[in-house]
Structure 1
Amino acid sequence: MARHSTRQKVVHVRLSEAEFLALRTFSVDVGLSVSEVLRRLSRRAGGFGATLDGEGGFAVRVHAEELRQVGGSLDRIARGLSGKDDPAFEVLIDGIGRLARLVNDQASEIRAMCDEEQRVARQRVTGDV
């Protein structure tokens, strides 16, 4: 996860010795600092979604590739409109409609991923711990 230079807020948390040891052990096991573990958990609980590694990162890369393909299709449409031949407007309108639906579907899927992360985080935080 990229470090953000705008991180200026500090949160102080009191933990029991057992809670701290469990958190530190978990952090070592996953190869992250305690701060990074807490930051990732708070991002998920806040609805920001997963960080860009692991399964979440793979899903984001898949969506990014699909959106890159949309960009290529839009480029072909633009070239078709600026060509010397009269564009086939019915074909262009159909293509633009399909692209718009794809972009909308991508946005919905990404939002659903973030919503699911938040739901799981809320369930874990409010559950019996």
Structure 2
Amino acid sequence: MINRFARTDETVRIDLREFDGSDDWVEVRAALSWGDMLAVRKASMPRATAAPGTPEMEVQIDVGARSLELLARAIVRWSFRAAEGDPAPLPVSRDLITKLDARLADWLAERVDSLYGEGSRAGA
């Protein structure tokens, strides 16, 4: 039988050894659902706004919103701890994802994007 639904419970581990030589890791969903992909695409849509009383439109694109949405929907676990010696990793949250080192977040977004293939880049 062919499964027609995304198996969002299956994960893939991304080792950070290639990034910084550490033993840290991040687990991401092996696949995103269509609803997740729609949210990622929506985050990358240009938004047009007009200042009150002016006819001119301004188009804004939030280039980080797509990457944040992608990581927030993909990451399920990580080995990151608040301090050395902490007994358990920090829980994954959108807030903590926004606090990641920028280079690490960009690197992870690239890895996650390539994991999901062309479908995750459509409309970006």
Which protein is richer in helix relative to its size? 1
Which protein is richer in strand relative to its size? 2
What TM-score comes out, normalization by structure 1 length?
Answer: 0.28
| Rg (Cα) greater in structure | 1
